[in-house]
């Protein structure tokens, strides 16, 4: 028996969360071992660790509580990585030295695996006078370009590129340049952009009033508020950015508005944070808590929910003490406020199991009721922790109870906080859960609707063959297990068929009981009118949302996951949107096994000015009658070469053992340029010793028939192909190459491998 509800869940666990040795040997033998590792690590700070380890393990078991990926992959590993998902960096000073000190801090944070947010409103506008050097300022966007270039060079923990959020106030003189920055598809690709919209600006938009653009007390020019709003709307209509953050609402509702001011968020927007603020994330899997799904007695177990929330709050509070931080300022900020972000996933699946149509008034009311129960349980659990361990250091009873969120909290919760304090300043947030939702059996992500009921995933096997497997939404799979091939009921709706207004309704219902914010994408049809599109944002503002992010397929960002008509459509869909086939190669199911004996060849490389030759041994494996490279050994008596030859040996061998088209290794090595100079070898110029090694690997691949010839492609190994080229499709995944990228909760996320730009 396996705990995994789908093959893709096991693949995600193996690739992203399973603890392994440096050479890929598994340490976590089973997913139960992963749960045990996390539970033990987070119980270590308790006075009774054995007791709490069992409680924590029970919460994790069967994917009921899903800590965010950083915790799942990093807790209990002994590795120097942060368990916090997101950070907002310090306030950027308006001087060159301070700006580049902030750049350094950003690099150090992303190096440990954290997504970061910055408010660039503090940098003087382009053309402003810089008296110290008698010059004009280049403006915040020029420095954002520097941040963007830095982010491209930093590979964060977990093999993900860093993700960044940039915000700018709606009254900054460079706001129009900020709004239009993403019209250049090559610019600021490592950033998500959002405009900080004030209540005063929204009132000016409604009144069609004037709006001053100012910095440092100086008004640079005045525009019409409605014209500026229309520019924001046109930009996001055309290329999906910038998003909108209702910043005054965020600060007014903040439990900590007495001791902090927020002007930025993490990359996906669900965590508005102060300077050096950090937050850890986790999600209650609502789909796992429904009893009698699709039956007459279908219900979510309230007692189980309360118990699970209490365990989750305690686990996440312990992460504050167990985690490392890239910067000391981040550690101090986290310890002073002990902020956590407990959210949900599988919400849409849970609603389906209860017979509720996502986006209906009944579903919105049920969502609000569930989120209120989670908020109450979380706050009361934090009060109990305060009784046992003390409240967060900056707790001020009267100021805390007077904040916007707490004024709306039930009186018994307020009374408990007044008497005992509270351990965590903020407790709830709904974060992106694309990858962990796949890991949990392809449950619906966060509070998003089901994106597609099923799609086909292609997996490259050890022998070079490809298999297809159907990836089915968790609720649909449960329906099939109960009713076989019976037609899906009318209340089954998905992201493509849902009206934008229904998306907003669900976000607003959840926001009433979420004390941070929500990462949610409002999918809009490509043919939505501009006026209707603007109404989506106004509806979000009027119904109490803290921000709004939309996605409309367009030429700049591409379409969402390709869809086609399906014969399996439910009655409420007029043909359920289903993915078209994309790239044939997704990724290996697991590395190739090594036979006891392999055939190979050894090559001698004598590099000029080197006292010793380098010997390259390439061993091959035969699959389906075809010979292909399997491993490499690079050796030299020159000890100056030792570290990099060992590293190259391990890395190239690891790539070869994954199968598929590995010819790119040759091209990457041949392109390496040594600034000290290359060498002439056999009548041609070779730019570096690494390029020479690449040339030897290429000649070996040609000799065994793996490559057609020098600089050419594969000879006999299957090549990646794309079918149905005329069908619209999204961009290819940078991790696995499939065309299954979709916009979920503000992140482009791959349905095949779980890759997400935002982590």
Tell me the pLDDT tens digit for each residue of 149-191: 888 776 433 344 568 999 999 999 999 999 999 988 778 888 9
* Higher local confidence (pLDDT), 580 or 17: 17
Catalytic residue among 86, 151, 170, 268: 268
* Higher local confidence (pLDDT), 736 or 506: 506
Catalytic residue among 270, 333, 573, 581: 270
* Higher local confidence (pLDDT), 596 or 696: 696
pLDDT of residue 739: 57
> Mean pLDDT across the stretch 669-680?
79
Residue 711 clears pLDDT 70, i.e. is over it:
no
Do 366 and 347 form a contact (C-beta atoms < 8 A)? no
Alpha-helical segments (H) within 486-602: 500-511, 530-542
Query: How many Å apart are CA 394 and CA 371, to the nearest integer?
Result: 26
Q: How many beta carbons lie within 10 A of that of residue 49, not counting itself?
A: 16
pLDDT of residue 136: 86
H or E, element range at 103: helix 96-111
Clarify whether 307 is annotated catalytic. Answer: no
Residue 491 clears pLDDT 70, i.e. is over it:
yes
457-480: per-residue pLDDT in tens?
A: 776 666 656 678 888 999 999 999
Clarify whether 753 is annotated catalytic. Answer: no
pLDDT of residue 712: 59
Task: Locate 628 and state its tokens.
Answer: 């292909």
Catalytic residue among 266, 424, 494, 523: 266
Instruction: Report CA dihedral (202, 407, 119, 744) to the nearest 10 degrees.
Output: -80
> Mean pLDDT across the stretch 369-388?
98
Distance of CA 547 to the CA centre of its chain: 18
Task: Locate 372 and state its tokens.
Answer: 């209120």
Which burial class, exposed, middle or buried, applies to 306 when counting CB atoms under 10 A from its CB (0-12, 13-18, 19+)?
Answer: middle
Do 266 and 86 form a contact (C-beta atoms < 8 A)? yes
Residue 745 clears pLDDT 90, i.e. is over it:
no
Which segments of 484-625 are extended strands (E)?
522-523, 547-548, 550-551, 599-605, 614-623
648-657: per-residue pLDDT in tens?
A: 898 898 888 8
Which segments of 198-285 are extended strands (E)?
210-215, 218-224, 243-246, 264-265, 272-273, 278-285
> Under 8 Å CB-to-CB from 78, ≥6 apart: which residues?
none
- φ and ψ of 679, to 5 deg: -155, 155
Between 87-101, 260-274, 557-571, 645-659, the lowest mean confidence (pLDDT) is in 557-571
pLDDT of residue 753: 64
Task: Locate 275 and state its tokens.
Answer: 């300077």
Between 144-148, 251-255, 561-565, the lowest mean confidence (pLDDT) is in 561-565
Residue 731 clears pLDDT 90, i.e. is over it:
no
Residue 695 clears pLDDT 60, i.e. is over it:
yes
Strand partners, 695: none
Percent of the chain scored above 90 by pLDDT? 60
Residue 754 clears pLDDT 90, i.e. is over it:
no
Residue 367: pLDDT band by 50, 70, 90 thresholds? very high
Q: For residue 3, what is the DSSP state?
A: S
Query: How many Å apart are CA 561 and CA 698, to the nearest integer?
Result: 36
Do 523 and 535 form a contact (C-beta atoms < 8 A)? no
Query: How many Å apart are CA 39 and CA 278, to the nearest integer?
Result: 22
Query: How many Å apart are CA 643 and CA 636, to the nearest integer?
Result: 11
Residue 581 clears pLDDT 60, i.e. is over it:
no
Query: How many Å apart are CA 72 and CA 279, to the nearest integer?
Result: 15
Clarify whether 747 is annotated catalytic. Answer: no
Look at phi and psi of residue 461 and say left if phi exceeds 0, alpha if psi is from -120 to 50, else beta.
beta
């Amino acid at each position: 028996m396996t705990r995994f509800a789908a093959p893709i869940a096991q693949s995600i666990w193996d690739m992203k969360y399973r603890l392994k040795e440096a050479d890929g040997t598994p340490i976590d033998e089973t997913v139960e071992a992963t749960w045990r590792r996390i539970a033990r690590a987070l119980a270590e700070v308790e006075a009774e660790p054995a007791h709490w380890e069992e409680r924590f393990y029970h919460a994790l078991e069967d994917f009921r509580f899903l800590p965010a990926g950083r915790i799942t992959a990093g807790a209990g590993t002994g590795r120097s990585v942060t368990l916090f998902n997101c950070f907002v960096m310090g306030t950027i000073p308006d001087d060159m030295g301070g700006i580049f000190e902030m750049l350094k801090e950003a690099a150090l944070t992303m190096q440990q695996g954290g997504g970061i947010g910055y408010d660039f409103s503090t940098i003087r506008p382009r053309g402003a006078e810089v008296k110290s050097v008698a010059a004009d300022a280049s403006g915040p966007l020029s420095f954002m370009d520097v941040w963007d270039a830095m982010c491209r060079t930093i590979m964060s923990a977990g093999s993900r590129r860093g993700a960044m959020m940039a915000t700018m106030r709606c009254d900054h003189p460079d706001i129009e340049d900020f709004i239009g920055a993403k019209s250049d598809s090559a610019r600021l690709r490592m950033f998500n952009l959002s405009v900080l919209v004030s209540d005063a600006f929204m009132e000016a938009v409604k009144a069609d009033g004037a709006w001053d653009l100012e910095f440092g007390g100086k008004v640079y020019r005045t525009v019409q508020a409605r014209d500026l709003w229309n520019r924001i709307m046109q930009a996001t209509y055309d290329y999906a950015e910038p998003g909108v953050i209702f910043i005054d609402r965020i600060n007014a509702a903040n439990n900590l508005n007495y001791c902090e001011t927020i002007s930025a968020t993490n990359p996906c927007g669900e965590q508005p944070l102060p300077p050096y603020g950090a937050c850890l994330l986790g999600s209650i899997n609502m789909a796992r808590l429904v009893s009698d799904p699709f039956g007459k007695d279908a219900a979510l177990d309230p007692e189980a929910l309360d118990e699970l929330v209490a365990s989750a709050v305690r686990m996440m509070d312990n992460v504050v003490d167990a985690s490392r931080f890239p910067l000391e300022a981040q550690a101090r900020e986290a310890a002073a406020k002990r902020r956590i972000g407990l959210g949900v996933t599988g919400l849409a699946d849970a609603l389906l199991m209860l017979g509720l149509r996502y986006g209906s008034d009944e579903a919105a009311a049920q969502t609000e009721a569930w989120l209120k129960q989670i908020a109450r349980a979380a706050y009361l659990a934090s009060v109990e922790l305060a009784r046992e361990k003390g409240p967060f250091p900056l707790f001020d009873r009267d100021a805390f109870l007077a904040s916007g969120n707490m004024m709306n909290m039930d009186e018994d919760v307020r009374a408990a906080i007044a008497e005992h304090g509270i351990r965590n300043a903020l407790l709830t947030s709904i974060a992106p859960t694309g990858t962990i939702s796949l890991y949990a059996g392809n449950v619906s992500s966060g509070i998003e609707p089901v994106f597609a009921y099923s799609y086909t995933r292609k997996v490259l096997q050890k022998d070079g063959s490809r298999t297809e497997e159907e990836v089915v939404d968790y609720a649909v799979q449960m329906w099939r297990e109960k009713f076989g091939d019976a037609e899906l009921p009318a209340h089954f709706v998905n992201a493509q068929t849902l009206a934008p207004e229904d998306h907003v309704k669900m976000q607003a219902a959840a926001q009433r009981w979420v004390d941070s914010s929500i990462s949610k994408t409002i999918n809009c049809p490509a043919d939505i009118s501009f006026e209707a599109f603007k109404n989506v944002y106004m509806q979000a503002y009027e119904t109490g949302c803290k921000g709004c992010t939309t996605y409309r397929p367009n030429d700049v960002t591409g379409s969402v996951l390709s869809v086609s008509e399906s014969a399996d459509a439910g009655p409420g869909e007029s043909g359920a949107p289903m993915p078209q086939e994309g790239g044939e190669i997704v990724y290996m199911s697991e590395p190739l096994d090594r036979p006891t004996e392999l055939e190979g060849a050894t090559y001698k490389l004598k590099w000029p000015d080197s006292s010793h030759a380098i010997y390259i041994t390439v061993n091959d494996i035969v699959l389906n009658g075809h010979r292909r490279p399997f491993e490499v050994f690079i050796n030299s008596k020159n000890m100056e070469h030792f570290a990099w030859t060992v590293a190259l040996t391990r890395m190239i061998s690891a790539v070869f053992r994954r199968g598929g088209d590995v010819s790119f290794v040759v091209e990457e090595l041949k392109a390496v340029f040594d600034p000290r100079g290359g060498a002439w070898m056999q009548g041609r110029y070779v730019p570096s010793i690494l390029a020479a090694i690449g040339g030897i690997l290429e000649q070996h691949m040609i000799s065994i028939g793996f490559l057609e010839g020098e600089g050419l492609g594969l000879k006999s190994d299957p090549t990646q192909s794309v079918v149905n080229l005329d069908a619209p499709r999204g961009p290819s995944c940078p991790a696995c190459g499939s065309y299954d990228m979709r916009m979920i909760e503000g992140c482009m996320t791959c349905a095949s491998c779980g890759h997400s730009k935002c982590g």
